[in-house]
Amino acid sequence: MALSFDSDFLKKLEYLHVVSKKAFAGQARADRLAPKRGRGLEFADTRGYSAGDDFRHIDWKAYKRLGRLLLRLFDEEQDLPIYLFIDASRSMEATEKFDQARRLAAALCYIGLAHLDRVTIMPFDETVREERSAGQGKGRIFRVFEQLEQMQTGGKTNMAESFKLFAARGRRQGLAVIISDFLDPGGYESALKVLQARGHDVYVVQMASEADRDPGALGDVKFVDTETEVVRDVEVTPTLAAAYTKAWEEHTEELARFCGRYNIGYVRADVERSVEEIILQTFRQGRFVA
């Protein structure tokens, strides 16, 4: 799959930025407020001078008025660590979910790079595969495209194991975006909780397709699990098909409910919709980008 966006769309993306509910400490100067005071341009507060403070920040006007040495404090503007977890398990390869996930990841990368955020792409299946840092600056987007194009599906989904492994690496806190269909036999709850427990601001992007909701084939069918190759004989009656559709809807609602309960951002991205529509409408409505 070749990744590319037209210039109009890219221009629109540049006006957006990824919203984080928390302020995280970054590594480099950027245009996002950090939780600490530093050498930014925005005045934040004053404090008493201590030995060793930079003379240049002493508020001389206040000294003349109050007779005390006060030091002017500024907000530190730093980059935001964004971790893009892309589900690269086999369940994603059907119905263009993986392609759409890569397009979304590319778009989010571009938004992050445009705002000098530190974006890291982390494909996962049973574990987190090789993580790739996109760097900073929107000029790096072509490298990101190349990385995403080379990404392949394979293996089973195991979010809990993957995210535990990520948590164990002791990465800086940041925005964790999980793009997945959340069809994990082991469940997604503990995995999301692990990320949240590590102080990351977690966003969930559920990839969905009409084909997932509708079983399609009716009558006697041998369903083969793409990930496990397990075969199950099912006689799909209209009743059973309706029950399946209902189960899928419940699965989606359950995920949305879980995210709501744990203050996790949630948006659903249908493969039938265009990336532009998802980014500019769905993500904005979900306050994922602004």
CB of residue 11 vs another protein: minimum separation in angstroms? 35
Local structure of residue 89 (DSSP, 8 states): S
Backbone angles phi, psi at 72, to 5 degrees: -80, 135
User: Around Cβ 33, how many Cβ atoms within 10 Å?
Assistant: 18
Question: Does 78 contact another protein by CB under 8 A?
Answer: no
* Binding residue for another protein, selected from 43, 63, 142, 223, defined by CB under 8 A: 223
Cα 177 to Cα 112, 148, 199, distances in angstroms = 12, 15, 13
Stretch that binds another protein, among 54-62, 190-198, 224-232, 262-270 (CB under 8 A): 224-232
Three-state DSSP state, 87:
strand
Judged by beta carbon, residue 131 or residue 189, the one nearer another protein is 189
Q: Which residues pair with 84 in a beta bridge?
A: 121, 177
Q: Tell which positions 7-66 bind another protein, by CB under 8 A.
A: none
Question: Does 154 contact another protein by CB under 8 A?
Answer: no
Longest dimension (CA), the chain: 89
CB of residue 194 vs another protein: minimum separation in angstroms? 20
CB of residue 77 vs another protein: minimum separation in angstroms? 42
Q: Which residues pair with 267 in a beta bridge?
A: 205
**Paired tokens of 17:** 């930025």
Site for another protein (CB under 8 A): how many residues?
40
CA distance 173 to 163: 13
CA distance 210 to 255: 17
CA distance 88 to 138: 25
CB of residue 100 vs another protein: minimum separation in angstroms? 13
Question: Does 228 contact another protein by CB under 8 A?
Answer: yes
Which of 224, 212, 152 is closest to 182 using CA atoms? Answer: 212
Question: Does 185 contact another protein by CB under 8 A?
Answer: yes
Cα 30 to Cα 115, 118, 205, distances in angstroms = 7, 10, 26
Local structure of residue 215 (DSSP, 8 states): -
Question: Does 244 contact another protein by CB under 8 A?
Answer: yes
Question: Does 227 contact another protein by CB under 8 A?
Answer: yes
Question: Does 212 contact another protein by CB under 8 A?
Answer: yes
Which string of x and - marks every residue 88-117 that binds another protein (by CB under 8 A)? Answer: --xxx-xx-x--------------------
Stretch that binds another protein, among 15-23, 50-58, 129-137, 239-247 (CB under 8 A): 239-247
Question: Does 234 contact another protein by CB under 8 A?
Answer: yes
* Contact set with another protein (CB under 8 A): 90-92, 94-95, 97, 157, 181, 183-185, 212, 215-228, 230-234, 237-240, 243-244, 247-248, 251
